[in-house]
Homo-oligomer: A and B are copies of this chain.
Amino acid sequence: MYERKTPDHLECGIKVTAKVIGSKWKPCIIDAITRGVHRPGALQREVGLTSRRVIQLQLKELEMHGIVEKQVFPVLPQKVEYHLTPLGQSILDVLNAMNTWGEANRERYSGELEPAS
């Protein structure tokens, strides 16, 4: 586990939220779970472009942050499912706002960046 060398700055709400969903794959994972993909292996195949390990690490953090809940079925072969907690459900509002803005402005950022406005 990596140990931060600088303290977290959580003085404003934005940074709290960023701490929870601000990483390369977490939004994708949360999105996939809401679409009904619950098992780690399936999530990895769904998200693609990244490895099993990466998904595992992100799921673990999401679980620590109370966004997802891990459910272990006592069967073999192993079966595990991750579901959104109520807290996880509540953060969908934020993801939706981000998605809406991004979709509305995608073309501006897709090609090379022009100087702006």
A contact residues vs B (CB 8 Å cutoff)? 9-10, 12-20, 22, 27-28, 31, 49, 63-66, 69, 85-87, 90-91, 93-95, 97-106, 108-110, 113, 115-117
Contacts of A97 in B (CB 8 A): 93-94, 97-98
Q: Is the interface of A mostly helix, strand, loop or mixed?
A: helix
The 8 Å CB contact of A106, one of B13, B27, B110, B117, is B13
Contacts of A85 in B (CB 8 A): 116-117
Contacts of A103 in B (CB 8 A): 13, 16
Contacts of A15 in B (CB 8 A): 27, 102
Add 11 more A-B contacts to A14-B95, A18-B102, A63-B115 (CB < 8 A): A10-B110, A12-B27, A13-B100, A13-B103, A13-B106, A15-B27, A17-B102, A66-B116, A69-B116, A94-B94, A94-B101
The 8 Å CB contact of A18, one of B14, B22, B86, B106, is B22
Chain B nearest CB: distance from A52 CB in Å?
A: 18
Question: Do B22 and A22 touch across chains, with their CB atoms under 8 A apart?
Answer: yes
